[in-house]
Structure 1
Amino acid sequence: MLKKIALIAVMPLMLTACGSNGAGDGAAQGPTGDGVPQVDTGWNTTTADGSLTLQRQLNQLTLSYTMAKSSEGVKGTLVAKAAPCLNGKGEETVETTFTPMTSDDASALSDVRDRIDSAVGRLSARCTFPAEVREDITAGFDGLYFRSAPERAAISGS
């Protein structure tokens, strides 16, 4: 009898651990009737071939920051992309390439955040997407930026 009670008590936990594709778990939710994808990938970090990419997609807006070695030194590339851009159609991209600051992390982060705000602002002037998407796309970026310090140091050689 005690075994049955314990199994009944644990069963909901076991089912929850199996996972789901419900909202909020970072899984794609598919497009709405107007062709706008309902997805939040959360921030992802990728390292490959001497580069580091921090990327997130929130509905139709994708934002990525890549730091890579080049023949001229370290290069930063910021890309903001909206797909679809207008009324479920087309896509627009704003890309900025720059030399990342080598000063302290707080100053470098401030520089990258200014560039993000500028790119997303330019993109929102050309495209239609909700204000909350524009505001929420950067949520969590600061923490990820600081957590990626070892990878950024390996690329910049500092």
Structure 2
Amino acid sequence: MNRKTVELASLPYRPCVGIMLANRQGHVFVGQRIDSKEGDAWQMPQGGIDIGESAEDALIRELDEETGIASHLVDIIARSVHEHLYDLPDELIGKLWGGKYRGQAQRWFLVRFKGEDSDINIATAHPEFDAWRWAEADQLVELIVPFKRPVYREVVQEFRHLL
């Protein structure tokens, strides 16, 4: 193991929530990342858990910040049994989160959307997405950037029976 690998491996994971937002038909919200140069990086809403914040509170805050969806329009259906970890590719570690984290430790939630499509507004104060759509659960793994695919595979498997 070289020195750089040891240094990266010693970095902690960023505490995070991931949100599988499903509509009444069992389709899942995905947003196209605004910062993707290729324009093909889709993902489910996610974000960091602030110090002193519960995972459930982070879920509600992140959902509002990324989709404009108010808390009364969702029901939490399930919480992942364990955290799902992913490592950033080496070239991204110094560019994201001030280089303080090697990746994320995500607590995933399945959330049922009770609103209408018109209740979704990705033009938020700090937009993360420039487009959104409903996708089949089986499409999610192929839509995400490759380094997050194992996590998406696990999350889909864990929540599929509840969609």
Q: Higher strand share goes to which structure?
A: 2
Say which one has the larger Rg: 1
Q: TM-score, normalized by length of structure 2?
A: 0.29
